[in-house]
Structure 1
Amino acid sequence: MSKEITVLDTIATYTRQRIKEQKKSIPLSVVRAEAEKIEAVKFGFENALKKPGLSFICECKKASPSKGIISKDFPYLSIAKEYEDAGADCISVLTEPRWFLGSDKYLKEISNTVNVPLLRKDFTVDEYMIYEAKAMGASCILLICSILSVEEMQYFKDISDDLGLSALVECHDEAEIEKALKINARMIGVNNRNLKDFSVDTGNSKRLRSLVPQDILFVSESGVKSPEDIKNIIDMGADAALIGEVLMRAESKKFTLDWLKGKYDKD
């Protein structure tokens, strides 16, 4: 019986081809040299999430496979600046170009505009992308268990460790939590979105929370729409919430982030 091909698999295949083409114009040796000469705060992303209380990772995202275009104009620099001013602990920047309409230039320019740690939100399938992330100003990379073997994850984590980059290891189920623990992940994110049918179940984080030791940072990703969702995330003992669409669609990022934190009613 053949494995069902998901959107995630399709994106990963495309990303491998995309990076293969990029290597033709800028070789790995050049990107690695550029990354290694950059001095940055070691593990700044994960350290920003270690403060007491729930931390907030706010996402700069123009589009997604499930929602299509979320922000038509997408003034990414002003969005990132507004996130910083609103009190975001970290910012996630989409660089995947086909399905999320992201761009490497968004990350580069945002890194020169704000002073909060940045996650390069992309589908890491090659070591090249890790050196790229560092060179572009990211403090963190994303490792998605669904598209990587344990060996690949360990190799990529070792590279990111050497560069002082944090690695957010994303899981969807119990088996993937086991994979993340095998590589001694310091930061595990549970995606509440089912990437086979795009349905969202914020209970997924709650179900998997008990499988992750307390000394590992736990991030609940996707599906946050209300203060009640935030309360549930706090109650389950998560360290951070990654929030995208509700903030991207908000006229005032600060007002909406404060509302999610329960500071006042939206009405």
Structure 2
Amino acid sequence: MSVLDDIVAGVRLDLARREAETPLHELRAMLADVAPALDPMPHFRAAGSSVIAEVKRSSPSKGHLADIPEPADLAAAYARGGAGAISVLTEERRFKGSLADLRAVRARVDVPILRKDFIFSTYQLVEARAAGADLVLLMASVVTDQSELRRLHDEAGELGLTVLLEVHDEEEVARAADLGAQLVGVNARNLKTLEVDTSTFSRLAPLVPDTAVKVAESGIFSPDDVNGYVDEGARVVLVGEALVKDGDPEQGVRSMTGLTGRGTGAEA
């Protein structure tokens, strides 16, 4: 069993518990009290780099990263730094996240929020929106059936959620293009081995349709890294570890936001 398979198996167990506690029809009823989803795409399509800053306590590859007793405080610092969106890990076992973290962040900030999890069901989409998420992650490596991926992609849109469609190889890029995905994340981390290959973005980005906004994920620790990805076509970078370990997350986001290419150091 790969690392990804093991993570998804745990997610299925935790999901079954939540479904037993709150049936889908009750979850859907909660949507009536949720404010309309925020649209991150204007910010993502603007000139210069946008940052999706992540609330991330732990990871399978690095283990414990940071104590985050108040995720809303961290999210507020990200927002002050100009984050285009805030990603909240909600997977419980390997990333030590929760939907409670997402709800706390939603109550504090008015920027778009991404639910970062291993999503493969309608229930997860509905609970994301009910908790206040504006975006959801769909991973081609998790939802391997294309008709099922299309169904989830379309259902997310019907709920008002923007989909970040994550890909890792050429075949997954082709699947994202087939869906007409507008926000495509190229993850440099192989989720089966956890190894990072930063050349993954330069290899796959040219295959992503120009109609989509390209997001670089993993291997980003400095403005210089952001510049490199921007040079290769990224408009958005998703950054977690570097920011949660930084003593000044607000400035960390600010330093990576608005960059227009290697060597310029310019902010839009």
TM-score by length of 1: 0.92
Q: What pairs with 1:77-156 in structure 2 (closer than 5 Å)? A: 77-148=72-143, 149-156=145-152
Count the aligned residue pairs. Answer: 259
Post-superposition CA distance 1:84-114 (Å, at most 9, x none): 0111110000000000000110000100100
SS of 1:49 mapped into structure 2: helix
Q: Distance in 2 between matches of 1:199 and 1:217?
A: 25
Q: What residue in structure 1 maps to residue 15 of structure 2? A: 19
For structure 2, list consecutive stretches of 5 or more residues without a partner in the other structure. none
Question: Counterparts in 2 of 1:1-267, with a 5 A limit?
Answer: 5-35=1-31, 38-41=34-37, 44-148=39-143, 149-260=145-256
Alignment RMSD (CA, Å) = 1.7
1:137-181 CA-to-partner distances (Å, cap 9, x unmatched) read: 100111010111211211111111111110111000001111112
Residues 228-254 of structure 1: per-residue CA shift (max 9 Å, x gap): 211111101111000011111001012
Report the AA paired with residue 41 of structure 2.
E
Paired residue secondary structure (1:204): helix
Q: Which runs of 5+ in 1 are unaligned?
A: none
Separation (CA, whole Å) in 1 of partners of 2:249 and 2:224: 18
TM-aligned CA distance change 1:67 to 1:74, over 3 Å:
farther
Q: Following superposition, which runs of at least 4 residues in structure 1 exceed 3 angstroms of deviation? A: 258-264
Check conservation: 2:137, 2:166, Cα contact below 8 A.
Answer: yes
Retained in 2: the 8 A contact 1:36–1:163?
Answer: no
Tell me the amino acid that sits aligned with residue 51 of structure 1: A
Q: Hey, what's the Cα distance between the residues in 2 that align with 1:133 and 1:232?
A: 32
Shift in CA distance, 36/123, structure 1 to aligned 2, threshold 3 Å: farther
Residue identity over aligned pairs, in percent, reads 36
